[in-house]
Chains A and B, each alone.
Chain A
Amino acid sequence: MNYRENDDERAFRLRVRKWLKANAPQDWRATTTTEEALGKLLRSWQRKLHQGGFVGLSWPEEFGGQGLTPTYEAILNDELGAADTPRISFHAYLGRAIFTYGTQAQKERFLPAMLRGDMQWCQGFSEPGAGSDLASLRTHAELRGDKYVVNGQKMWTSGAQHADWCVMLVRTNRDVPKHKGISCLLTPVTVPGVTIRPIKISDGSPETCEMFFDDVEIPIENRIGDEGAGWRIAMTVLSYERGPADIGFIAVLKSTLGRLEALARETGRGDDPEVRKALARAYVIGEALRLNVMEQLSQRVAGKPPGPDGSVARLLLTQAEQTVRRLELELAGADALTGRDPHGAVGAYLRSRTISIFGGTSEIQRNILATQVLGMPRG
């Protein structure tokens, strides 16, 4: 057991911190008020990070990565979160589909551009009728000659408004059990027949999208893996999807809690034992998350691929975020309800409710833990 960063990790953290001081966009929240401006910023930010040598840290070197342990990704994300930079392209995990299941030609075509930030990606998995039950997806791809013709609708395609490409799951065979008739296609989102519409979430922000496919033609060489292999690819990809260490979440949680503690002190509510306990409880849950994530990261460094027990950290993350945001709402009091608090506590609170939904609801996470980790019989 050792929780201390080694000399190389520590040096890397200091290098990131120094680089961010010189290169991180300043006041970007105030200056990017439109979705278009945000899209531009995210793209230029990823290019800058790539030039700085901070993209693809844990990817294999042969695909343009640096072959470092996932610890380095976690350190980078921790520093990005602490510096409150724009988010790093959160679809890097989609690259796993390509370098695990793609052909050499596909790897050469997509991976370097993906790392450079020249190709932004989104994920087209969920559908209106396929949420938790993803395998029941119905978007259909019919092979005609050397092209698939795709028709259907995708939901929750976050980042589609800024994306160039989409990794999508489609049904290529309706005559086999539902998990076996799915294939994985890569499609540019700018081709004829693709329509993207923003979906506003409860706080009013256009956080995610839906996509419509109307006779969209996708060349057969854009299929990843064999026809019918889509489900296995999706499961690999999802196991790498936004873990708590991969999104700078812990750093943001820490700075938010620090702000709430300061606010409580300033307003005098920090003398109330109930408020003090609530703030301490939020700290404790954050620590439980941080330390559990460190163990899981260490296991990945030791060569164990991410597995179903990642749902433990996911549920802790959910609890930590929702606890802090509920507390923020309480501390902001009537000012939040009358729209006069500077940090928008109501919006942050409502946004925190999405975390127990996206990427697998808390109920699905518990199903996974019960059946796949504890080995309980399926109902």
Chain B
Amino acid sequence: MRAVFTEEQEMLRVTARRIAERSRINTPGDIEKLDSDAVWQSIAAAGLLAMRVRDDGAPMSAGVDVMLVAEELAAALAPAPFISAILSTELLELAKAPRELIDEIAEGRARYGLALAPDLGALADVAALDDAVYFGGEGAGRALALKRDGAGFRVVVLRGEGATLAGADLTRTLRVGGLTPDGAGNGSLLSQADIDRWTALALSLVCADIVGALRDGLTDLVEYAKTRIQYDVPIGSFQAVQHMTAEMLVQTKAAASVTSYAAWSVDELEPDESLLAARTAKAYCAAAAVSVGEMLMQAYGGIGQTWEHVAHLRMRRALLDRGLFGDESRQLLRIADARMGAGA
């Protein structure tokens, strides 16, 4: 048992952080100024989009590695749609889709969003695309959805632009409508176990996004609390502020712990066990997203309530993450199903 990151993983973290820093968002005005195409090309050039491409049947990088990259990008509030790109390649790999389709995403030549059900709880079915929400794949005009086929599912490519939604998260774009299926499906039939495994990765990466967004929020807050003077002393010397930040630290650390295990489980445990680990992580992280996000806005005082401040950007990102693939309430009920059998 060695639940610590390897040296290679620490190096990967450094690489991801370097790229993330180039697209760090500190205020809403930064978002439009960012050359997001250049950032995307640097992510692709570092090979980060190919991490889940299969080589001899095995992913090039473990779930934990992808988690590290997602966490670092989120820590900088980078607008890059990394998670949807990774999840697209994962879905296509599980379906053993044509190589070219996977490679164009993995090499950064094409961007795919994910079509989600209107409640953001799962991938959308092509039979119900009217209110489907497209997550990621900005400017791509392409997305993936599922199509039920007997006991299994097929991966279907959708094409079209859709209309941009004024979503909660200002750093990631959501779209709706206007996409239609292109063909009847790609690759082979996915089983429920395939979908479970994919969902476990999806939940792990969304959790990593929460962990990153909260982690750097706390780091910045601590620096602020050391220098912001009231009553002639730094506000960080007040026990009320100290205990708030200590509680933020506990929740952020625990969120990272459950997320690491979920990400590890994707490649190491059976799909049902991995899905339970991922739902557990999401239940914890989704609750922490709100709790830590609120404490972040509180501890900054008045400045933390302003549009130009970063606090609400972190809160907004965490709020969308909380809803993606189900919030804590939904996860808790599914965890109870897994542990106690279905309720009446």
A interface with B by C-beta (< 8 Å)? 1-6, 9, 71, 261, 264-265, 270-273, 276-277, 279-281, 283-285, 287-289, 291-292, 294-295, 297-299, 301-302, 309, 311-312, 315-316, 363, 365-367, 369-371, 373-379
Q: Are A284 and B284 in contact (CB under 8 A)?
A: yes
Interface check B260, CB cutoff 8 A: yes
Interface check B230, CB cutoff 8 A: no
Q: Are A6 and B249 in contact (CB under 8 A)?
A: no
Given A280-B339, A312-B253, A316-B250, is A371 in contact with B242 using a C-beta cutoff of 8 Å? yes
Interface check B335, CB cutoff 8 A: yes
Chain A residues with Cβ under 8 A from B247's Cβ? Answer: 366
Given A371-B242, A373-B249, A379-B239, is A295 in contact with B333 using a C-beta cutoff of 8 Å? no
B244 to chain A minimum Cβ distance, whole angstroms, is: 9
Q: Are A374 and B246 in contact (CB under 8 A)?
A: yes
A-B contact pairs, 27 of them (CB 8 A): A1-B4, A1-B260, A2-B2, A3-B1, A271-B344, A276-B333, A277-B332, A280-B339, A283-B335, A287-B261, A287-B280, A288-B255, A288-B258, A288-B284, A291-B260, A292-B253, A295-B4, A298-B2, A302-B2, A312-B254, A366-B242, A367-B242, A369-B249, A376-B225, A376-B237, A376-B245, A377-B234
Q: Are B336 and A277 in contact (CB under 8 A)?
A: yes
Q: Are B257 and A280 in contact (CB under 8 A)?
A: no
Chain B residues with Cβ under 8 A from A261's Cβ? Answer: 339-340
Within 8 A of A (CB), among B164-208: none
Q: Are B283 and A379 in contact (CB under 8 A)?
A: no
Q: Are A265 and B234 in contact (CB under 8 A)?
A: no
Rounded to whole angstroms, the CA-CA distance of A182 and B1 in the bound complex is 40
Interface check B307, CB cutoff 8 A: no
Among B1, B250, B261, B336, chain A packs the most CB atoms within 10 A around the CB of B1
Rounded to whole angstroms, the CA-CA distance of A192 and B46 in the bound complex is 74
Of A292, A365, A370, A376, which is within 8 A of B254 by CB?
A292
Q: Are B260 and A280 in contact (CB under 8 A)?
A: no
Beyond A363-B243, A369-B245, 10 extra complex contacts between A and B, CB < 8 Å:
A1-B5, A3-B261, A265-B340, A279-B336, A284-B284, A291-B3, A294-B261, A295-B260, A369-B250, A370-B242
**B62 to chain A: closest residue by CB:** A1
Chain A residues with Cβ under 8 A from B27's Cβ? Answer: none
Given A312-B253, A315-B250, A376-B242, is A295 in contact with B258 using a C-beta cutoff of 8 Å? no
Rounded to whole angstroms, the CA-CA distance of A365 and B250 in the bound complex is 11
A-side interface mostly: helix
Q: Are A271 and B343 in contact (CB under 8 A)?
A: yes
Interface check B264, CB cutoff 8 A: yes
Given A288-B257, A312-B250, is A279 in contact with B340 using a C-beta cutoff of 8 Å? yes
Within 8 A of A (CB), among B247-284: 247, 249-250, 253-255, 257-258, 260-261, 264, 268, 277, 280, 283-284
Interface check B122, CB cutoff 8 A: no
B71 to chain A minimum Cβ distance, whole angstroms, is: 13
B266 to chain A minimum Cβ distance, whole angstroms, is: 11
Q: Are A1 and B332 in contact (CB under 8 A)?
A: no
Q: Are B261 and A291 in contact (CB under 8 A)?
A: yes
B-side interface mostly: helix
Chain A residues with Cβ under 8 A from B331's Cβ? Answer: 280
B327 to chain A minimum Cβ distance, whole angstroms, is: 12
Chain B residues with Cβ under 8 A from A298's Cβ? Answer: 1-4
B interface with A by C-beta (< 8 Å)? 1-6, 9, 62, 64, 218, 222, 225-226, 233-234, 236-239, 241-243, 245-247, 249-250, 253-255, 257-258, 260-261, 264, 268, 277, 280, 283-284, 329, 331-333, 335-336, 339-341, 343-344
Q: Are B343 and A270 in contact (CB under 8 A)?
A: yes
Rounded to whole angstroms, the CA-CA distance of A379 and B174 in the bound complex is 45
Rounded to whole angstroms, the CA-CA distance of A283 and B239 in the bound complex is 31
**A299 to chain B: closest residue by CB:** B4
**B1 to chain A: closest residue by CB:** A5
Given A276-B343, A297-B1, A370-B246, is A3 in contact with B264 using a C-beta cutoff of 8 Å? yes
**B6 to chain A: closest residue by CB:** A1
Chain A residues with Cβ under 8 A from B239's Cβ? Answer: 367, 379
Rounded to whole angstroms, the CA-CA distance of A213 and B64 in the bound complex is 56
Chain B residues with Cβ under 8 A from A315's Cβ? Answer: 250
Chain B residues with Cβ under 8 A from A379's Cβ? Answer: 233, 237-239, 242
**A370 to chain B: closest residue by CB:** B242
Chain B residues with Cβ under 8 A from A373's Cβ? Answer: 249
Rounded to whole angstroms, the CA-CA distance of A284 and B284 in the bound complex is 7
Rounded to whole angstroms, the CA-CA distance of A48 and B277 in the bound complex is 38
Chain A residues with Cβ under 8 A from B339's Cβ? Answer: 261, 279-280, 283
A304 to chain B minimum Cβ distance, whole angstroms, is: 9
Q: Are A312 and B222 in contact (CB under 8 A)?
A: no
Chain A residues with Cβ under 8 A from B253's Cβ? Answer: 292, 309, 312
Rounded to whole angstroms, the CA-CA distance of A312 and B246 in the bound complex is 9
Chain A residues with Cβ under 8 A from B2's Cβ? Answer: 1-2, 298, 301-302
Q: Are B332 and A284 in contact (CB under 8 A)?
A: yes
7 A-B pairs with the lowest CB-CB distances in the bound complex, closest first: A370-B242, A276-B336, A366-B246, A271-B344, A369-B246, A280-B335, A280-B332
Chain A residues with Cβ under 8 A from B237's Cβ? Answer: 376-379
Q: Are B236 and A376 in contact (CB under 8 A)?
A: yes
**A302 to chain B: closest residue by CB:** B4
Rounded to whole angstroms, the CA-CA distance of A287 and B331 in the bound complex is 14
Chain A residues with Cβ under 8 A from B254's Cβ? Answer: 288-289, 292, 312, 316
Chain B residues with Cβ under 8 A from A270's Cβ? Answer: 340, 343
Rounded to whole angstroms, the CA-CA distance of A261 and B341 in the bound complex is 10
**A373 to chain B: closest residue by CB:** B249
Q: Are B284 and A2 in contact (CB under 8 A)?
A: no
Chain A residues with Cβ under 8 A from B280's Cβ? Answer: 283-284, 287
Rounded to whole angstroms, the CA-CA distance of A3 and B262 in the bound complex is 11
Rounded to whole angstroms, the CA-CA distance of A292 and B253 in the bound complex is 8
Among A1, A292, A301, chain B packs the most CB atoms within 10 A around the CB of A1
Chain A residues with Cβ under 8 A from B5's Cβ? Answer: 1
Chain A residues with Cβ under 8 A from B222's Cβ? Answer: 374-376
Rounded to whole angstroms, the CA-CA distance of A363 and B243 in the bound complex is 8
Rounded to whole angstroms, the CA-CA distance of A71 and B241 in the bound complex is 36
B290 to chain A minimum Cβ distance, whole angstroms, is: 14
